[in-house]
Amino acid sequence: MTNSDALSATELAELRRRYRVERERRVRPDGARQYLAADARFGYYADDPYAGETPGREPLRDRVDVAVVGGGFGGILAGARLRQRGIGRVRVVEKGGDFGGTWYWNRYPGIHCDVESHVYLPLLDETGYVPEWKYAPGEEIRRHAVRISEKFDLYADALFSTSVTSLTWDETSEAWIVTTDRGDEFRATYVVTATGTLSELKLPGIPGIEDFKGHTFHTSRWDYAYTGGTPDGGLTGLSGKRVGVVGTGATGIQVVPKLAEDAGHLYVFQRTPSTVDVRANRRTTAQDVGADHDGWARERRDNFLRVVSGESAEEDLVADRWTSSAGLLEKLLPSFRRPADRKAFEAAYEVTDGTKMNEIRARVERIVIDADTAEKLKPWYRYACKRPTFSDLYLQAFNLDNVTLVDTADTHGIERMTERGVVVGGTEYALDCLILATGFSVGTSGVHSGQLPVHGRGGVQLRHAWQKEGPRTLHGFTSNGFPNLIQLGGTQSASSVNYTHVLDEHAVHAAALVAGAEARGAVIEPSREAEDAWIAVLAGNAPDHEWFHAECTPGYYNGEGRGRPNGPTAYPHGAYAFHDLLKRWREESMDEVLQDRTSARP
Ligand code: NDP
């Protein structure tokens, strides 16, 4: 961390003061309860606009080797890695009409992934595919999900437009009974849950939301029948229309420039501005990304993880704004670093943070012509308080005559909705269409919320067991009392900004567990002691970042300003170290979770 652009003590004190004011303006007493789920009377918000007519089929009553719940990248990678291990019948059950998960549902105009395509798209070495853009459009990523699924023959047994409704361990057949909303009741020796962390869309609990008579939808269910066009734009259905968009997170930032191109008038309802850094998307060649030898993509992906995890790396291959700001991500994703002099480290960190945020605010001022609008677009919080975003089009959109920024911070978001539109600060904005870019219930998997009941040994429901004792796992994947159940990408493991990399490492692990159990004729189940030992690892080394998030503007990183969940939820040394630990454990200790089929654990 460099102090070269050191801010003075006065400047830092002023930043702290301003950040506190901005936080206080925004904290709401109802915290996360302000949001509505897209169910019951709002269930239509979650309908699948892409699947077309769902063909009927007979309910299944058979047995497969592995049931994978979810056909996003987690489920696809689990399937691929299981196939590589020679596992025969792998049945992916997916709510959407095809594979893709996030990239199936999110097809909004302007959609791209802001993590470099050459590290984000998984299994590039295995599929021989080399993306042509530094940051890939959503449709290319969705097609890659299909490519992997085809290559590893996952379509043969997949069930689409089908939701798993329960998982019940049957001692007699030593298998999970899987039921679905299509009447299926089949058995699976193993279950891998890959239900995603951003799969439940959320709606703003704006008073009167149901009164609005105009058109409305969530960005993850884009209504092209209404807007016309494609993810590339050309939204001719919006010409002459008054369009509102709520939300200026990573989705809002991508969608606004496309809406601005075609809407008669666009109102952007902002509550907290995002940090919008340079993106610099560009075409790339295979040569640019070193795609000239086997394993190039794995090397690049590992290098990216090293850099963003704060590990030492000889080179920064990706060299973008994620990697150059990596040092500022440590409050978000724990790293391996444990500086000897914590006080000096935090002081230097604050200077770097303030310098970066000043740069982000200066960028707004440089780009946005209207001074009042520019002022409102400036983010006043520390870098890791909100998910950083990157765009070279978003801020520029506010220079167009047909775009108006409506700041809603003083009223904690939109005040209310009427038949005609939305009300902010006593002013009614009449709208033909209101688009909700309000995100997802982050981290909510049906397994944890109870929406997908999982009954293990003795009929014990996982959610109830965890409510009593808090989450109990070994490495985040397996739990005592729930044999042959592997949870992917969940709590008590480690994450990264390149989430597909994390999912792939988890998939490799899941496949190794299944292959190990098959080879040994065993069931997979950790002891309570192994869970205790893992929880001790998490708790004993957890970095203290609570104070940082307690001073942030509200958002899903800090429980909407009301604190983070209790208990250690992540491996404290980051994803790079976690993957290493898993690899060593597979080589040396995996037998500890492989139990004889007949000996149920106490
Ligand atoms: P977010 O949850 O990040 O953003 C939701 C937005 O809605 C926020 O700006 C929020 O304001 C605003 N909002 C919520 N309620 C109200 C209200 N009542 N009135 C006004 N504004 C409101 O959702 P996104 O869809 O943007 O992102 C979801 C996830 O998807 C993120 O984790 C992101 O990382 C990921 N993503 C990744 C992309 C990529 O390129 N890799 C692209 C797009 C998304 P406030 O901040 O004040 O709460």
SS3 573: coil
Closest ligand 1 atom to Cα of 114? 40
Q: Residue 452 belongs to what domain range?
A: 63-200+442-526+571-596
551 located within any domain: no
Are 579 and 466 members of one domain? yes
Residue 9, pLDDT > 70, answer yes
- Percentage of the chain beyond pLDDT 90 is 82
Q: What CATH number has the domain bearing residue 178?
A: 3.50.50.60
- Percentage of the chain beyond pLDDT 70 is 97
CA of 88 to the centre of ligand 1 (A): 40
CA of 249 to the centre of ligand 1 (A): 4
Residue 601, pLDDT > 50, answer no
- Assign 170 a pLDDT band (cuts: 50, 70, 90): very high
Closest ligand 1 atom to Cα of 219? 25
pLDDT single digits (tens) 36-90: 999 888 999 999 999 988 889 999 999 999 999 999 999 999 999 999 999 999 9
- Take atom 2 of ligand 1 and give the residue whose Cα is closest: 439
Mean pLDDT (whole number) for 464-487:
94
Are 364 and 501 members of one domain? no
* Range with lowest mean pLDDT among 166-180, 309-323, 327-341, 577-591: 327-341
pLDDT of residue 396: 98
Instruction: Let me know: does 305 contact 501? Beta carbons within 8 Å.
Output: yes
Specify burial of residue 59 (Cβ count, 10 A radius: 0-12, 13-18, 19+): exposed
415 located within any domain: yes
CA of 457 to the centre of ligand 1 (A): 39
Are 240 and 305 members of one domain? no
Are 457 and 496 members of one domain? yes
Are 131 and 262 members of one domain? no
pLDDT of residue 566: 52
Are 182 and 161 members of one domain? yes
Closest ligand 1 atom to Cα of 555? 48
Instruction: Let me know: does 383 contact 356? Beta carbons within 8 Å.
Output: yes
Instruction: Let me know: does 303 contact 316? Beta carbons within 8 Å.
Output: yes
Picking from 436, 458, 475, the residue at the C-terminal end of a domain is: 436
Judge if the beta carbon of residue 276 lies within 6 A of ligand 1.
Answer: no
- Assign 444 a pLDDT band (cuts: 50, 70, 90): low
Residue 4, pLDDT > 70, answer no
- Take atom 3 of ligand 1 and give the residue whose Cα is closest: 249
Q: Tell me how many domains the chain contains.
A: 3
Name 180's Cβ contacts closer than 8 Å, sequence gap at least 6.
93, 159, 162, 163, 164, 165
Closest ligand 1 atom to Cα of 220? 25
Are 33 and 91 members of one domain? no
Judge if the beta carbon of residue 114 lies within 6 A of ligand 1.
Answer: yes
Query: What is the longest distance spanned by two Cα atoms in the chain?
Result: 73
Judge if the beta carbon of residue 552 lies within 6 A of ligand 1.
Answer: no
Count of beta carbons in the 10 Å neighbourhood of residue 156: 8
Alpha helices in 85-121 (DSSP H): 102-105, 117-120
Q: Is the dihedral of CA 291, 293, 298, 304 positive or negative?
A: negative
Are 271 and 410 members of one domain? yes
Calculate the alpha carbon distances from 455 to 474, 593, 602 in Å.
18, 19, 16
- Assign 16 a pLDDT band (cuts: 50, 70, 90): very high
* Range with lowest mean pLDDT among 56-65, 149-158, 448-457: 448-457
pTM for this predicted structure? 0.95
Are 362 and 453 members of one domain? no
CA distance linking residue 601 with residue 531, whole number of Å: 13
The overall average pLDDT reported for the chain is: 93
Bigger pLDDT: 598 vs 415: 415
Picking from 401, 420, 436, the residue at the C-terminal end of a domain is: 436
pLDDT of residue 489: 81
139 located within any domain: yes
pLDDT of residue 600: 47
Name 41's Cβ contacts closer than 8 Å, sequence gap at least 6.
210
CA of 555 to the centre of ligand 1 (A): 9
CA distance linking residue 432 with residue 265, whole number of Å: 10
474 located within any domain: yes
45 located within any domain: no
Are 249 and 387 members of one domain? yes
Are 96 and 110 members of one domain? yes
Mean pLDDT (whole number) for 482-494:
93
Residue 2, pLDDT > 70, answer no
Closest ligand 1 atom to Cα of 414? 19
262 located within any domain: yes
Residue 3, pLDDT > 50, answer no
pLDDT of residue 311: 86
- Take atom 20 of ligand 1 and give the residue whose Cα is closest: 413
Picking from 376, 406, 436, the residue at the C-terminal end of a domain is: 436
Count of beta carbons in the 10 Å neighbourhood of residue 465: 18
287 located within any domain: no
Name 48's Cβ contacts closer than 8 Å, sequence gap at least 6.
95, 96, 97, 161, 221
379 located within any domain: yes
CA distance linking residue 48 with residue 461, whole number of Å: 30
Are 140 and 178 members of one domain? yes
